[in-house]
Amino acid sequence: MAKTQSVRASLDKQPHEVASMFDGVARRYDLTNTVISAGQDRYWRWMTRRAIAPRPGEQILDLAAGTGVSTVELGKSGAWCVAADFSRGMLAAGRFRAVPMVAGDAMALPFADNSFDAVTISFGLRNVADIDLAMREMLRVTKPGGRLVICEFSTPVIPVFKTVYMEYLMKALPRVARAVSSNPDAYVYLAESIRAWPNQRQLGRRAADAGWAGVKWRNLTGGVVALHRGYKLGS
């Protein structure tokens, strides 16, 4: 039987703890995602690509890209897409994917100002210790007129569903993860970090405060996930 690792970050999201937790998750990350989301992850990624609307010839940064599964989806557009992440374990687990990969921290991006036509982060921002700093860094590396799309777990909008969902999350999710993940404790952190995450309006306000213009969001799967969009002023 394959060995499992037990590494779980705390909610203050110390970067070394978060990176080691994802190193431990990496080996079975893609499979676990599909199992615990009942296949919805593919729909969320497809909707994220549609929201970014990458065009051939554009340069897109997929931040906190992990194994590159989100980057591959973006690359279907014909744009040049680069994956960046600070977990070398996650990047290594996605080495078989034909996407350029860069090791880097969302809070100190290893890219020049005004480099990308769009910057996106899927299921990554929630894990970053200082999300306001990360959103300012994303703005810095985006070209004037360029776009931001954040795809992240959020707050369900139907009250009864919200209660059921939070129950499912807190009780069932870590148990399901125990059957498939290479680091099941990370999925206890996942449930806790979703509960502690700002709702749609609060995250939209913080993106605007970080300097993003025209911030809007839309809910997917009844608000289980939200896509926040914005753009960088200038042309």
Ligand X SMILES: C[S@@+](CC[C@H](N)C(=O)[O-])C[C@H]1O[C@@H](n2cnc3c(N)ncnc32)[C@H](O)[C@@H]1O
* Binding positions for S-adenosyl-L-methionine: 67, 85, 105-106, 122
Which are the contacts of 153, defined by CB distance < 8 A and separation ≥ 6?
123, 126, 194, 197, 224, 225
Asked if 106 is part of the footprint of ligand X (rule: CB under 6 A), the reply reads: yes
Q: Which of 128, 150, 225, 226 binds ligand X (CB under 6 A)?
A: 128
Q: 105-122: string of b/e by CB count within 10 Å (b at 16+)?
A: bbbebebeeebbbbbbbb
Min separation Cβ 235 and ligand X, Å: 29
Question: How far is 133 from 137, CA to CA, in rounded Å?
Answer: 6
Is residue 52 within 8 Å of residue 74, measured between CB atoms? yes
* Interface region with ligand X, contact rule CB under 6 A, candidates 99-107, 159-167, 206-214, 226-234: 99-107
Which positions ≥6 away from 41 have C-beta within 8 Å? 33, 34
Interface with ligand X: number of residues (CB under 6 A): 21
Q: What is the spatial distance between Cα 230 and Cα 111, in angstroms, rounded to a whole number? A: 20
- Contact residue for ligand X among 32, 87, 200, 221 (CB under 6 A): 87
Determine the 3-state secondary structure of 77 from DSSP: coil
Interface with ligand X, residue 142, by CB under 6 A: no
- Out of 4, 7, 15, 213, point to the residue binding ligand X (CB under 6 A): 15
Residues 155-194 as x/- pattern, contact with ligand X by CB under 6 A: ----------------------------------------
Please give the residue ranges that form the binding site for ligand X (CB under 6 A): 15, 18-19, 22, 64-66, 69-70, 85-87, 90, 105-107, 122-124, 127-128
